[in-house]
Every structure is written in C-alpha cells, then in structure tokens.
Amino acid sequence: MKPGFIFFLFIITLCTQQMVKFNFIFEALFLALILLFPDFGASLNNINIIKADKCSLYQGKWAFDPTYPFYQPKSTAQPNGCPFIDPEFDCLKFGRPDTAYLKFAWQPDACSMRRFNGLDFLNRWRGKKIMFVGDSLSLNQWQSLACMIHAFVQNSKIVYNRQGTLSSVTFQDYGVTLLYYRSTYLVDIIGGVLKLDSILQGKDWMGMNVLIFNSWHWWIHTGSAQGWKTMEYRGKQVTDMDRHTAFRIGLTTWAQWVDRYVDPTVTKVFFQGISPSHYKCNGQQQPSAASASQANVPQEAKIVYEVLGTIKKPVTLLDITAMSQLRIDAHPSVYGGTGAGVDCSHWCLPGLPDTWNQLLYASLQ
C-alpha cells in the first residue's frame, strides 16, 4: 500500500473524530494528493505561474493616457526617434492620420502596473541576452522593446544587425543584447516537411538569459503561404491535418524541449500568448470599452493554456489575448508601408506591443 494512501486514511480518521482544525485538514489532504499523485502538485504550480501574476495584470480595461506613447519613430521631424521599426509597423510614417490609438494605457482592475523604465531594465539585465523566438508577432514585440529602451539611452553605443533568421540590437554600454530568432512554427521545417516532433533549431536558443516564444499565425496559412509541403509526425508524413491538432502537437514538442534543455537557474522562459487577428480593422480609431473578462477565449489560446500546464520547468505566460482583442484600432490596416493591402494581424509601433513589453518588464522584476 502506498505511503500516501496510508496517510490519506489517517487524515480521514482524524476528521471523523474531530481532532484537528479545518485548516490543518485541508493542508494535510493536499499533501496526501501530492504523495498519491506526484504530478498533481507540479501541474497546479504551473497553472498558477502561467495564468496570472500576483495582482492579475491581465484583467482590466484600456484608458486614455496623454503621457503615451513611450517613443516616436525616427523621421525628419524626429531625428532621435526609434530607428528599429520596420515599414510594416511604421503607421505614422506611412500616413495614418489619427493618433488617438497611441494614447491608450492598460489599466488592470485590481492593481496598478509599474511604468516602464529603460535605464532600470538595462541595469537589471546588464550583460544578459534576451531572445524573442517566433514569427512576425515576435518581431513586432522585439522591435517594440528595442524602441522602448532606446528612448532612454538615445546617445548610447548601439549595434543593430539584421541577417537571415537572426537579428539583434546590442546596447553596448550595458552589455544587453536583444535578439530575434525567426521560427514561425517553433518546430523544424526540413526539405519542405514540417516536422511536428523535431526542434533541431533549439540549439540556437541555448544560453540565453530570457527566452520569449510565440507561435500560431502561420499554422492557419494554406496553399503557397503555408511554408511547407507535407507534415511529419512519428516518422509518418501526411499532406495535411486539422491545424489546431497540428498546433497542439508542435507546441507539445516545444514544451518537451523546454523541460529537457532549459536550465531555470540560467534562463527565464516566457510564452507570448496568442495575438488575435481582427480581419476587418480599416477605419477603426478607438479600442473597445469592454473589459478583458468579456473577451472570448479562442481555441488556440486554450491549447496554449493546456500545453503550458504540462511543463515542469517554470514558464510564464504573457496572456495578451483578451487585452489585444479589445484593440481593433491598433493594427496597421492600410498604413503598413508594404503595399500588401489591409493588415489586421500585426500592430503599429508605437502601439499595443509596448504594453506587452510592460507586462514582460513587470514579470522580470
């Protein structure tokens, strides 16, 4: 008979004899469950880590704040503005006439969120490497963080490099490097085959002090836009499968990689969460007045919650989905500068990803 089960029977006996107080009973029963089912405690702990911070930063509303934005894009009028913004995100440069979307701050219901301080960030993470891994939504957030820091140290020595799958911004006076590694699915694509149970590229993520992962948007691409010809899982190839099923398998492979290769004493791991697309965003100039608690949770976000709950290593979820659903006004729309039509998937910079990085900043304290 398992020791945990014996302990469980012992507690039941104490309860029936009314020999212990309620609080002790609860704690003892909880300990018995951990003894009987070792994974129970680990999964509960993970859910607490990924679902919310101490003061539930993810439940709240958007409110007008005249002190925003944190920075301006570089231009003739703003020569000291941020030089890192790609045309697809530079809405002001490419003619967006309204500016109210720049002036909204996230206000949590039950607490206040500390304002971002780039000097504090650099000093706290002096000599460290912070890498964003994912698709163009990770690119969006990486450029946002680089701009937010740059606003505090415009005269600092900075090295900016874009090459292939890896890009970086190094603030040399502080030894802080922000990196972006392009990986649309997190799992490997080799010879046109999307390998749902392979992450050979993970060797390039090793040794970072902070890793912020993201994936989803490319999983729903079809035809020539999908980036692969066939999928492979456990040695068998298929021409296609349900995309949510494929996403769950791929994300589980990533979760197993985290548990196997990440050293929590060296590396903090985050998952960006699901950034929502709105599909019809042209002409929108105001965020929704609703609360994040009223937003619908899409299936892909539920998959993220479930898979992250299986990871034994510490992982923090930047649960951006609900708050971002309320910002239909914050997309580039027709002002993305790429001539690709209406973009309701990415976000203007300055803009919404700045709030994502405030949440990251709060989580790194």
Q: C-alpha dihedral over 67, 290, 52, 141, to 10 degrees?
A: -50
Q: How far is CA 54 from the centre of its chain?
A: 18
Looking at 82-91, 225-234, 275-284, 286-295, which range is the least confident one? 286-295
**Residue 31 pLDDT:** 36
Angle at 354 between CA 353 and CA 359, to 5 degrees: 95
Task: Say whether pLDDT at 202 is over 50.
Answer: yes
**Residue 53 pLDDT:** 44
Task: Say whether pLDDT at 146 is over 90.
Answer: yes
Give residue 149's pLDDT band: very low, low, confident or very high (50, 70, 90): very high
Task: Say whether pLDDT at 52 is over 80.
Answer: no
Whether this prediction's pTM lies above 0.95 is answered by no
**Residue 47 pLDDT:** 38
Q: Which residues contact 294 (CB under 8 A, 6 or more apart)?
A: none
Average pLDDT of the chain, as a whole number? 87
Give residue 296's pLDDT band: very low, low, confident or very high (50, 70, 90): confident
**Residue 56 pLDDT:** 82
Active site (catalytic) residues = 136, 343, 346
Between these two residues, 297 and 4, which has the higher pLDDT value?
A: 297
Task: Say whether pLDDT at 14 is over 50.
Answer: no
Task: Say whether pLDDT at 42 is over 50.
Answer: no
Between these two residues, 149 and 41, which has the higher pLDDT value?
A: 149
Please report where in the chains the tokens 């009973």 appear, as a residue.
Answer: 25
3 state DSSP class of 177: strand
Give residue 54's pLDDT band: very low, low, confident or very high (50, 70, 90): low
Looking at 79-83, 210-214, 287-291, which range is the least confident one? 287-291
Q: What is the mean pLDDT of residues 201-223?
A: 96
**Residue 74 pLDDT:** 94
Q: What is the mean pLDDT of residues 278-295?
A: 87
Give residue 365's pLDDT band: very low, low, confident or very high (50, 70, 90): confident
pLDDT in tens, 123-133: 999 999 999 99
pLDDT in tens, 317-359: 999 999 999 999 999 999 988 777 899 999 999 999 999 999 9
Q: What is the mean pLDDT of residues 105-131?
A: 94
**Residue 295 pLDDT:** 80
CA distances in angstroms from 317 to 18, 50, 51, 314, listed in the order given: 42, 5, 7, 10
Task: Say whether pLDDT at 23 is over 70.
Answer: no
DSSP 88-119: GG-TTTTT----GGGGEEEEESSS--PPP-HH
Check residue 342 and give left, alpha or beta (phi > 0: left; psi -120 to 50: alpha).
beta
Task: Say whether pLDDT at 103 is over 60.
Answer: yes
